[in-house]
Structure 1
Amino acid sequence: MSSTCFLCHRCNKPLKISPDLSAMQRRSLEAQHRASPSPKMPVSGKLEDRTSRRRHPDPGRTSQEGACCPFTLLGEPSTQRTLDSIQNTILETFKIVSGQKDVDHPLCVDCMDGLLEELDAQLTLAEADNQKYKSFTERESLVSDEEREVLNAELQAELQSLEQEEARLTQELQDVDQEHARIEAEKAAEAETRELEQQEEQDLKDYAALKMEELELTGELSSVENQLVYVQGQLQSLSKTDILNITFTILDEGPLGIINNFRLGRIPDIQVGWNEINAAWGQTALLLFSLSKLSGLQFQRYELVPCGDHSYIKSLTSDEMLRLFSDGSHNIFYDNKYDRGMKAFLDCLQQFVKMLQKEEGLFLPYRIHVKGGMLEDTTGSGKCYSIRTHLNTEDEWAKALKFMLTNLKLILAWASSKYYSKK
């Protein structure tokens, strides 16, 4: 059985072949299919598209040929071939290729009904146009020449009126276009104006913010300038202030020497507490330390370490710490660290005095003997008093401490006049 199939030209659905089709027609269709360029070419191929554009039938074509070749075949052709079918196939192929024959395509029932409906609608429209043309021709034949001239005059007048109306409407359209362009320009100008107003408002806000920042910075600048003036006044006042005299106050009146309201030493009648004596030694060590830093003197053999009521002197040769404080438990019959600390302090003071005598020619009323740890009264009795508690009385120890503070008082006055009086 042949596997030849037919497809609808519109919906591409397979068609059912009618059983009334004769065997000759089947063979002719199969021969036409075998004569095509490719058995499996689809309905919408290039050759089919080219030939389908020519819809004029061939005048020499018989009704039998039209009935034998009504559509395009797809699928495998039959293997039964005769000389007649081959000749027909070649002839049909030549006609199709040369453009002498159009290729018809099959349609299914639904597509055929739709096509018939479209043709009926086109036929109805053509008949209506034909009736209009006939009525116009009949009416034209019934009109006389005079009526035709009158009608032509009326039509000319109407034409002129319509032309005038067209010119008026054209002018109105131009006016409307101009008005539209003007309105668009006004809208653009209004939009630009609104944008400029918004920009102006934003600029005013920015200006207000900058103005506020300027006022704040101006206030801060004024405050800083006032602070600067105040600090400069304070600096000028402090530069004229004798810091040594303000910081250290030494009194040598009475039986005991006093520094910053701390009594240095004790006598049988005035039993000063050791805490007060230690604090006085701390102030004394701080005074000599400050004077050495101010004058740039570097002590030999010892280093002063002022630490309040627990000040001490560090030996540079043995790293020994010599105390300038005591709780009264030291033994006055032996050479103790407290006595050696006071003697080391006297050594440092003597180094400072030698520097003054060498550079400034300053001489003090009480001569220092470092080796014996004693102070000599050169302006009075010439007696020497020991600064140590070892084998010494409280009266002589207190007097030696007082002589030491008196020397420091004179040194303090010299330092104040040298370093602060010129400011």
Structure 2
Amino acid sequence: MYCTIFMCQRCLRPLKLSEPQETLTSEPEEPGESGVTRAFYGTRTLQGQLEELSEGGSRDAVLIDGRKSRDKDCYCLSGSVSSARTLDSIQETILQTFEIISGQREIGHPLCVECTDSLLEQLDSQITLSELDIQRYKRCMESGEMQVEHEMEALKEELRALEQEEALLDRELENVEEGCVEAAAALQEAQAETEKLEQQESQYHLEYSALTWQQLELCEQLSSMENQLWYAQQQLSRLNSAGIFQFTFDIWQEGPVGVINNLRLGCPPSGPIDWDEINAAWGQVALLLVALCNTIGLEFQRYQLVPRADHSYLKALTGNSVLLPLFSGGRQNVFLNNEYDRAMIAFLDCLQQFKEKAEQGHEGLQLPYRICVERGVLEDATGSGHSCELRTHLNTRERWTQALSFMLVNLKCSLAWASLRYGKN
């Protein structure tokens, strides 16, 4: 047997032990038991606890020698477990211990006498306050019964008015439901019409897109045709304002050398020119003079000019029909009158015939350099006395090149005159 001290859970003072006045079990204690069962509840005895239990109703059970007690404030201590305890009581003790440890069961705490009296006084004051509240509630209920009757009458009147209003609202609801049915039918028709219109709109969009694409293509074609028309009009205006001779024959000066259609005619001191280029230039000059004579309707009297590129020549119309070549390989006979010089003099004769024909009329041709066929000379028409011989025999290359340049200037003036007079015809 061992001794255990219990403390008051409020003031933490030790509790005094008291022997129970009555045994809780009818079974006598066996002599061999070593444990002594004791109950703790301040200075209260177990008999008083049982009386309070019978008055206060059911409370939590407390183990006394393995059996349950219904007093919440009664605590028992078992010094040792008796060997006569049954298996059921042991299992019940273990189950209750597990419930206490796991928090599933609430246990009371022992109090001392002073703390118990203080707790009872607090409970008495709470009971007194509760009774006062009950009395006030009763008086309020008695005073409020009359008001409740009047309120009941008013509520009945309001209920009748609400019933009438409910009936009216029911009729309105029926009308609204009928309107909803009609609106649903109209909505269905409108949805069907909307779907039809959407399909038509989609078809219209497709057609509009196709027409828009076709319009863009036509606009692009129209713009292209307008550009082509503008270019054609520009070309037509250019062709109308310019003659065929200006497009066919282009004559200019490159230093002391005359150039026709990118072919140089002469031998400048700066550098020799290949005779093939000079012969080709003579072919262009012969072709130009033939074209001018054909334009004005001129037929040569003493020579026939035959343009054949770099092998052009003149054919005499009298005598033995001698051929005079307008091409050379650069070899000249100093002692004899060579055929190349005779061909250039014959060409001056043809140019002089063209000049005489072109000077007729009020829009006659005026050349800047006078032609002397007998001497084969080209001289300035202004009277400066500057002249050059169109021959290679007993002549310098510079003077021969300058004479060729004078001849090209006369041809350029003749070309401009023919373009102005015959270009629009």
TM-score bucket of the superposed structures, by smaller chain: 0.3 to 0.5
TM (norm. structure 1) is 0.43
TM (norm. structure 2) is 0.43
